[in-house]
Structure 1
Amino acid sequence: MTPAIFADLQHRHAEPHRAHHDWARISGMLAMAEEVSHALSDKPAFILAILFHTAIFDRANPEAEAQSIRVMHRHLGRTLPRHMLARAETLIHAVLRQEAPETDDPGLRADAALLLDMDNAVLGETAARFDAFEAANRHEYAHLPDDRYRAGRIAALQMLLWRDRIYHTDRYWLEREKRARRNIEYALVQLEGR
């Protein structure tokens, strides 16, 4: 990965409509990945997925996911093996759709579970950090009026609570599950005006 590619990604992640999906978040996910690098099936593809999954980010743009993948291929398609890019693409789809890929590859499933948990790690942060995330999330949905945002956010948070587990991996489940559920329940009270 060249300095020019990193500079491009940092520039993209500095766009003013990003309040949570910025370079600080990417750096945090890279640090989390380093902590579990021994458990990754394909570290290079995993890192690519972190770097590029929100290369294009706009909550009002339904094509952002496909465009992010195109940015990755444009930057790296001629220099990296096709299988590595395909694996990174599968991981990007997993995190953006918030569901593990259907695959017979246990390593890919495990990597996707870790990436999903890293993406949702903020849900299990301290109450203050979770509140800051909620405020940033609202900023990123600035194109929606309050009533539509509130209804959508309530539905999204409620669906998280309905899961048996928010976190897929034991590591994140043990560290963050209880706090995430408390944070989400508190957010729902605020959003519903209870």
Structure 2
Amino acid sequence: MTSLPEAFRAAARGAGATASDADLDSAANYLVGRWTEPQRHYHDVTHLAAVLEVVDRFAHLAPNPDRVRLAAWLHDAVYDPRALGDANERDSAEFAEGLLTSLGAPAEVAAEVARLVSLTAGHATGENDPDGELLCDADLSILAADTDRYIRYTSAIRREYAHVPDDAFRGGRSRVLTELLNLPSIYRHAEIRGQWEDRARTNLKAELEELA
């Protein structure tokens, strides 16, 4: 089984990074450290591994899967549950571009990975963006989990937002779920949508009813 540092090194090499293996491994281990910060209960290394697994599974849907893999590594590199708006995504995108540039990735690649990271703020992609669509679909894959795993996910999210009073949390979470349910489709790629869309909508509706 490939370790996380090995997976990062392979993706970075595939995307054109020229840094030494030692530097790539150091960057990977630093990122793993970020993903294991104490404020993370859902947005942790388990989430990272799950997103990478989905990207690998559906890599054939993306023209540049290694860029998507790097964006998966970096999309929550900065994560503060108390941050406002899309500050985490903006900061993660900026961090991604700087890190990849320091690892010798071509400027175009570093900028594109940063763009992909920024998409996770609202999971909205434009037309003809299969790389962005795969990243967003992978990031939202938890929504189609089985019932037990979905309940663990919602519990972990609540722990991340323990600083938010119950009423405020229920209101904010309900708005997020409603926005997702109002989308024409939660998942962008037809192959993924066919497998996960119905299950995700069932989970979201059940959670929304519970919050109400």
Q: Same fold judged by TM-score > 0.5?
A: yes
Matched, 1:112 2:141: no
Q: CA deviation at 1:131?
A: 0.8
In 2, the alpha carbon distance for the partners of 1:183 and 1:56 equals 27
| Structure 1 range deviating more: 35-44 or 160-169 | 35-44
Aligned counterpart for 2:160 among listed residues 137, 140, 163: 140
Q: Report the secondary structure of 2:176's partner residue.
A: helix
Task: Name 1:174's counterpart in structure 2.
Answer: 194
- Give CA deviations for 1:148-182 in whole Å, capped at 9, x if unaligned: 10000011101111122111111221111111111
Q: CA deviation at 1:44?
A: 2.4
CA contact (8 A) 2:186 2:193 kept: yes
- Give CA deviations for 1:25-67 in whole Å, capped at 9, x if unaligned: 1112112111222222112221111011100101212332232
Aligned counterpart for 1:88 among listed residues 102, 113, 116: 113
Aligned counterpart for 2:89 among listed residues 56, 60, 65: 65
Which AA in structure 2 matches 1:163? L
CA contact (8 A) 2:116 2:132 kept: yes
Q: CA deviation at 1:133?
A: 0.8
In 1, the alpha carbon distance for the partners of 2:96 and 2:134 equals 21
Which AA in structure 2 matches 1:132? R
- Give CA deviations for 1:107-135 in whole Å, capped at 9, x if unaligned: xx111111111111111111111111111
In 2, the alpha carbon distance for the partners of 1:39 and 1:156 equals 27
Unaligned runs of 5+ in 1: none
Aligned counterpart for 2:182 among listed residues 143, 146, 162: 162
| Structure 1 range deviating more: 38-47 or 133-142 | 38-47
Which AA in structure 2 matches 1:183? N
Paired positions, count = 187
Identity across the alignment (%): 27
In 2, the alpha carbon distance for the partners of 1:38 and 1:22 equals 26
Matched, 1:26 2:51: no
In 1, the alpha carbon distance for the partners of 2:42 and 2:122 equals 17
In 1, the alpha carbon distance for the partners of 2:70 and 2:82 equals 24
Which AA in structure 2 matches 1:90? R
Q: Report the secondary structure of 1:96's partner residue.
A: coil
Which AA in structure 2 matches 1:110? P
TM-score by length of 1: 0.90
Q: CA deviation at 1:77?
A: 1.0
Matched, 1:149 2:174: no
